Amino acid sequence: MAGEEFDVGEIDLRIQPVDDRTLLSPDVLERVVTAVLARIDDRERSRASGMADRVMWNSVREGS
């Protein structure tokens, strides 16, 4: 599709001002930190699982 043109049509956009003080409230900050830490834990578990699978299959291929 590179180089092809297409019509997006109309875009309805609403801009809503945000009080930036609420973005740093303790409750919001705690939610953000909790979500980030959970995502890091998920990523690490996924990596560890992938590594365990690769180690197992490599040992099977090598006959160990």
Domain total in the chain = 1
Q: Domain for residue 10, yes or no?
A: no
63's tokens: 């006959």
Q: Domain for residue 15, yes or no?
A: no
What is the b/e burial string over 43-58, where b = at least 16 CB atoms within 10 angstroms of the residue's CB?
eeeeeeeeeeeeeeee
Q: Domain for residue 5, yes or no?
A: no
pLDDT tens figures, 33-58: 999 999 999 999 888 888 877 776 66
Q: Domain for residue 48, yes or no?
A: yes
Residue keyed to tokens 């990596």: 47
pLDDT at 9: 79
Q: Domain for residue 37, yes or no?
A: yes
Q: Domain for residue 49, yes or no?
A: yes
Q: Domain for residue 43, yes or no?
A: yes
Residues 13-39: what's their mean pLDDT?
81
Write the DSSP symbol of residue 48: H
pTM: 0.46
**Residue ranges making up the domain that contains 48:** 22-62
Q: Domain for residue 12, yes or no?
A: no
In this prediction, residue 63 has a pLDDT band, given cuts at 50, 70 and 90, of: low
pLDDT at 38: 94
Report in angstroms the alpha-carbon separations of 38 from 24, 35, 41: 19, 5, 5
